[in-house]
Each structure stands twice: as C-alpha cells, then as structure tokens.
Amino acid sequence: GESVGLHLPTLSVQEGDNSIINCAYSNSASDYFIWYKQESGKGPQFIIDIRSNMDKRQGQRVTVLLNKTVKHLSLQIAATQPGDSAVYFCAENPSGNKLVFGAGTILRVKS
Amino acid sequence: NAGVMQNPRHLVRRRGQEARLRCSPMKGHSHVYWYRQLPEEGLKFMVYLQKENIIDESGMPKERFSAEFPKEGPSILRIQQVVRGDSAAYFCASSLYPMSTEAFFGQGTRLTVV
C-alpha cells in the first residue's frame, strides 16, 4: 500500500549545526513531495516542495534532495536555530486529491 | 488576508454526542481538504471538497462521518455519535488550485471524547 516513512523519530542537533531529516517513500507514481513543519499546537506549515522530475531544490536555509532510485527524500536545514525545533513531516501525492504523510521526525535544537 | 480558520480550537464531547468542526478557507480558495492526526502520528487524509461538491471521500469512515462545503459559509466536518477513538486533531487545508502544493493548513480542532 501507500506509505511514507521516516528513519529517525527524534533528531537532536546543536544550534548552528546543519540538520538532515530523512524520509523513505513507496509510491513511484507520486508527482511531488513536500516537507512540512509542525510546531506544538499548530497546523502543518509548508516548507519546501520538489517535483518528481527534479533531484534537488533549495530554499532559504533549506534544501530538499530526492533520490528516486532508492525512493528517498531528505530535508537539510543549514545553521539550525532554536526556532527550527518542531516536528517535520514529509508528504507525497500518490493521486491527485490527497497527500500521504509520514509519521514525523522531532527536531530538537540545543542551545 | 486571514489564513485558514478553524473553530472551535478545542472541543470536548461525551460519547454518543455529535461533533461539528468548522473550517473557513483562505479568501478566494475553493478547494478544502480535511485531515485527521492521532497523537505522535502523521496526518491522514479524510476528504476533499470543492464548493457544494465532495470530490474524494476515500479517507472518510463509512459511518458517522460526513462533510460538506456549502456555497455560502464554512466547510463542516460532522461526526455523529462520537466514540473515544474519534479523539484526535482535525486539520483543514485550503488551496486556490486543485491539490496544489500551495495548500495552507489551519490550526486544527482538537477533539476529545470523554
């Protein structure tokens, strides 16, 4: 069935270091992939997306890498800040009408 | 331009009661999606609606759950005869175009069934 999973449930990093959050997906038909950030008590907030015909996309302090050969997605956050502490979800769209979310990775930034 | 507004933010219902969750999409958005999130889990798709139409309800439980998005007013997710297992956070998202990556989520309604 469709599934999106994450390798690490919790990631602790030192402030200023780079963070890498990984995600495995299973549906080769997905047209795009999205990373969301969710802070406690809030809804998911869009971070960055990538189309299936791309392998890298950069935003402000974030980079998403897509490896379709091994069905792997990663989010890199440069110079991690305390405000980056949150749960991060990857999501894919195996069909046109919905997103399939992974279970989430907790990012903790130590000052 | 206000974001996606959901109310109430917290809702407590006794088993057997009805729960009504409201979602006002962003101005100009006519595509609404409902998701459910259990503690420590990702969001699970429930239903996708356009104005006055249900487009995809493949994630909706077959019984007790219904959704609407009338021509005027907010989208409503209705849960009849709630059970403890319905306790979750329910999120609504809206987009300008169908299933756009530019879908914005609301703050969610946290339903607790006691």
Listing DSSP states for B59-94 in one string gives TS-SSSEEEE--SSS-EEEEE-S--GGG-EEEEEEE
For A34-62, write each residue's pLDDT tens digit. Answer: 999 999 989 999 999 999 999 999 999 99
Radius of gyration of chain B (CA): 13
What pLDDT, on a 0 to 100 scale, did the predictor assign at position A3? 46
Name every chain B residue with its beta carbon within 8 A of the beta carbon of A103. Answer: 40-42
Interchain contact B96–A (C-beta under 8 A) = no
> What confidence tens digit (pLDDT) does each residue in B47-63 have?
999 988 999 999 999 99
Say yes or no to pLDDT of A1 above 80.
no
Chain A interface includes B15 (CB < 8 A): no
Q: Check CB contact of B98 with chain A, cutoff 8 Å.
A: yes
Pairing mode of beta strands B19-24, B5-7: antiparallel
Chain segment B3-51, per-residue pLDDT in tens? 999 999 999 999 999 999 999 999 999 999 999 998 878 899 999 999 8
User: Region A13-25: what's the mean pLDDT?
Assistant: 95
- Cβ–Cβ of A44/B91 closer than 8 Å? yes
**pLDDT band for position A4 (50/70/90)?**
low
Among B42, B93, B101, the residue with its CB nearest the CB of A89 is B42
Question: Is the CB of B106 inside 8 Å of chain A's CB atoms?
Answer: yes
Work out the percent of chain B whose per-residue pLDDT is above 90.
Answer: 82
